[in-house]
């Protein structure tokens, strides 16, 4: 077996092993449960924050169902919903521009839901008592706020809520929203009494039970996402439920003191709800699980304020509740606002799960986003991205292809060395290494293209899987969602027969693959046929089966990733063909294809006996 075939087999086997390891580490996602299906009812209770300083405590108020409570309407270009005046909770929110599925009659995505509905999920703001104040003196989960002004929250039209505790403290809450997904909550307390008041503001995002539509896929983080003083923390729901009991919190919790910057909340694959305190000021970040009520909770608490008689104290924090759009989140990170300027949110872009290859996924997605905006089609943007990536690695790839071509030129000399060395393996190795050195050929260079391809493939897989810009992104024809597998199938002759294709999550879908996986297998097979088949029967079998094994293995991958792989194979084929031609070796493509279909003739018995006698 010559060294060129050794390199090709090594590269192929390496690629196969990596894909197999990928399947073991990142198993296919479980079937998505219908988010509208009834969920198990849990206790309607919210555990409020514990003390942030000695002597400061918050009572265990119950969070009563809010379905019948008065509400204020939320109406923006991106959001629709309402705010409950019971507790002033932002607990009813839907995303106008995002549908649950690609079907035309699919409903829009619901993000937040009030207590009393399945999978309650909401944001709550309030004040904790300190000093001589009690829980009845501050607004909490069940405080009935009174509106002061308009009844609809929209960009440029904030709503104001008011509550008088009857003991000298008047609380005001102004809620504003921008044209995307950011709420700004400004809390004020006016002391009209004769004694000073000590209290602290807090924010809560609570989820009653695990989300029913969790993908539970290793590639995508779902759970708590937080940043404190430059450190990002991602905690899955199972890990939150395993947090140690903190007596001061009265629940299983993790408490982090932040001094300069940070934020905390819950993230799904494409959506998130995150509390953003004033940056540059200290706050306490809390992740909590209340097993008795099956509630997951994130909190921000601010230092205790002392409000003297006749004075007013004001504090502000923000709430992001919406889609994890790269451009939107980056604007909040860099400018603090979509239009104009505000307080930047450091590290906010990392709320998107970029993964281990973040140094590749971030620039790859930025380039893909720009290409999509320029071209106007995400599938074409992926093809253009593939050309750019191949162009960037062209010098290294060129060297590897040239080395492979030169290895072909050395075949006669290598065969002569093998004949001279006979059974002396050491001599053969010495002669081979001397030949490589004299001719300046690297026998391992043929593996470089696949080694380069592996991290790029994984990074692009991550980009396609987790970024919302790929969700429901159409290409052409039947390819109406590049984040999902090819929906066509051999089972119904790609739509020609009057029955449906197998469900994407079924075992049948792995067998009756679609058009894109077939094109992928063909492109790999053609690339393989640039070189003659190896003479060894075992090698021939490996090479013959490899393209079709990969075709079925990658058939369930996102169609956007398969488009990338097909494009990459086509470009690689052209590059190899051109480089081999430039070095005087015209690939006999059709001859190699034809020889692959020829049946090997068995050696006659008489010939075998003659050969044995000669030996």
HEC per residue, 361-428: HHHHHHHHHHHHHHHCCHHHHHHHHHHHHHHHCHHHHHHHHHHHHHHHHCHHHHHHHHHHHCCCHHHH
pLDDT in tens, 583-601: 666 776 777 677 666 655 4
User: For residue 612, what is the enclosing H or E element?
Assistant: helix 605-614
Do 524 and 439 reside in the same domain of the chain?
A: yes
Q: Specify whether the CB–CB gap between 131 and 504 falls below 8 A.
A: no
- For 274, the token pair is 């995150």
For residue 533, tell me if it sits in a domain. yes
Q: At what angle do helices 3-25 and 537-553 cross, to 10 degrees?
A: 30
Distance, in Å, from the CA atom of 558 to the CA atom of 461, rounded to the nearest integer, reads 8
Do 264 and 295 reside in the same domain of the chain?
A: yes
Do 341 and 390 reside in the same domain of the chain?
A: no
Distance, in Å, from the CA atom of 534 to the CA atom of 537, rounded to the nearest integer, reads 8
pLDDT in tens, 285-319: 999 999 999 999 999 999 999 999 999 999 999 99
Half-sphere exposure of 23 (CA within 13 A, CB side): 12
For residue 109, tell me if it sits in a domain. no
Which residue in the block uniquely carries the two structure tokens 């503001």?
Answer: 201
Domain count, the chain: 2
For residue 33, tell me if it sits in a domain. no
Asked whether the predicted pLDDT for residue 505 surpasses 90, the reply is no
What is residue 483's three-state secondary structure? coil
The residue from 304, 322, 353 where one domain ends is: 353
Between 52-61, 217-226, 541-550, 586-595, the lowest mean confidence (pLDDT) is in 52-61
Q: How confident is the model at residue 408 (pLDDT cuts 50, 70, 90)?
A: low
For residue 44, tell me if it sits in a domain. no
For residue 583, tell me if it sits in a domain. yes
- For 511, the token pair is 């067998």
pLDDT in tens, 210-252: 998 888 777 889 999 999 999 999 999 999 999 999 999 999 9
Q: How confident is the model at residue 54 (pLDDT cuts 50, 70, 90)?
A: very low
- Looking at residue 27, its pLDDT comes to 46
Q: How confident is the model at residue 12 (pLDDT cuts 50, 70, 90)?
A: low
For residue 517, tell me if it sits in a domain. yes
Q: What is the mean predicted confidence (pLDDT) over 512-530?
A: 88
DSSP string spanning 501-540? PPPTTSHHHHHS--HHHHHHHHHHHHHHTTSPPPSSHHHH
For residue 249, tell me if it sits in a domain. yes
pLDDT in tens, 464-499: 889 999 999 999 989 999 998 988 888 877 777 887
For residue 27, tell me if it sits in a domain. no
**CA proximity to 204, closest of 87, 93, 94, 315:** 87
pLDDT in tens, 337-389: 988 888 999 999 999 999 888 899 999 999 999 999 999 999 999 999 999 99
395 vs 113, residue with greater confidence = 113
Containing structural domain, residue 267:
117-353
Distance, in Å, from the CA atom of 348 to the CA atom of 328, rounded to the nearest integer, reads 10
On average, the pLDDT of the chain sits at 82
Distance, in Å, from the CA atom of 255 to the CA atom of 248, rounded to the nearest integer, reads 10
Do 377 and 257 reside in the same domain of the chain?
A: no
- Looking at residue 343, its pLDDT comes to 93
Q: How confident is the model at residue 255 (pLDDT cuts 50, 70, 90)?
A: very high
- For 404, the token pair is 């492979």
């Amino acid at each position: 077996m010559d060294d060129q075939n050794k390199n090709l087999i090594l590269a192929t086997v390496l690629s196969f092993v990596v894909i197999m390891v990928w399947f073991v580490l990142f198993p296919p996602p479980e079937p998505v449960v219908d988010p509208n299906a009834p969920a198990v009812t849990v206790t309607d209770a919210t555990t409020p924050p514990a003390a942030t300083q000695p002597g400061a405590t918050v009572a265990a108020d119950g969070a009563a169902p809010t379905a019948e409570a008065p509400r204020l309407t939320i109406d923006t270009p991106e959001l629709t919903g309402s705010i409950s005046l019971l507790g002033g909770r932002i607990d009813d929110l839907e995303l106008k521009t995002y549908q649950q599925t690609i079907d035309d009659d699919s409903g829009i995505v619901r993000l937040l839901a009030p207590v009393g509905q399945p999978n309650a999920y909401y944001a709550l703001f309030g004040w904790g008592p300190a000093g001589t104040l009690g829980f009845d003196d501050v607004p909490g989960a069940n405080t009935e706020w009174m509106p002061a002004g308009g009844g609809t929250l929209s960009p440029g039209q904030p709503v104001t809520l008011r509550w008088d505790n009857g003991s000298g403290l008047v609380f005001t809450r102004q809620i504003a929203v921008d044209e995307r997904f950011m709420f700004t909550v400004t809390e004020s307390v006016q002391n009209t009494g004769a004694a000073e008041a000590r209290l602290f503001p807090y924010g809560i995002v609570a989820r009653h039970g695990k989300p029913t539509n969790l993908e539970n896929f290793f590639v995508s983080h779902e759970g708590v996402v937080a940043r404190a003083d430059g450190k990002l923390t991602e905690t899955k729901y199972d890990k939150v439920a395993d947090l140690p009991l903190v007596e001061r919190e009265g629940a299983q919790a993790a408490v982090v003191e932040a001094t300069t910057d940070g934020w905390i909340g819950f993230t799904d694959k494409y959506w998130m709800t995150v509390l953003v305190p004033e940056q540059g000021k200290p706050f306490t970040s809390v992740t909590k699980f209340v097993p008795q009520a099956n509630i997951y909770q994130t909190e921000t608490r601010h230092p205790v304020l002392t409000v003297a008689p006749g004075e007013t104290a004001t504090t502000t924090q923000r709430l992001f509740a919406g889609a994890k759009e790269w451009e939107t989140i980056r604007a909040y990170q860099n400018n603090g606002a979509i239009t104009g300027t505000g307080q930047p949110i450091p590290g906010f872009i990392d709320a998107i799960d970029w993964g281990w290859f973040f140094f590749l996924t971030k620039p790859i997605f930025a380039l893909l986003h720009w290409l999509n905006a320029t071209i106007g089609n995400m599938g074409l943007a992926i093809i253009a991205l593939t050309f750019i990536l191949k162009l960037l690695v062209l010098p290294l790839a060129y060297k590897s292809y040239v080395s492979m071509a030169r290895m072909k030129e050395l075949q006669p000399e290598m065969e002569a060395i093998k004949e001279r060395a006979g059974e002396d393996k050491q001599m053969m190795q010495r002669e081979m290494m001397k030949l490589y050195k004299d001719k300046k050929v690297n026998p391992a260079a043929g593996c470089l293209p696949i080694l380069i391809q592996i991290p790029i493939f994984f990074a692009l897989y991550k980009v396609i899987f987790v970024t919302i810009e790929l969700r429901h992104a159409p290409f052409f024809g039947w390819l109406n969602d590049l984040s999902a597998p090819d929906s066509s199938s051999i089972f119904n002759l790609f739509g020609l027969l009057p029955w449906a294709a197998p469900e994407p999550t079924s075992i049948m879908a792995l067998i009756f693959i679609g058009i894109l996986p077939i094109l992928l297998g063909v492109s790999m097979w053609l690339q393989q046929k640039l070189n003659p088949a190896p003479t060894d029967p075992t090698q021939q079998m490996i090479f013959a089966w490899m393209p079709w094994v990969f075709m079925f293995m990658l058939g369930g991958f996102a169609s956007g990733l398969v488009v990338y792989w097909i494009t990459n194979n086509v470009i690689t084929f052209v590059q190899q063909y051109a480089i081999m031609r430039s070095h005087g070796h015209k690939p006999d493509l059709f001859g190699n294809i034809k020889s692959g279909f020829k049946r090997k003739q068995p050696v006659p018995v008489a010939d075998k006996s003659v050969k044995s006698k000669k030996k």
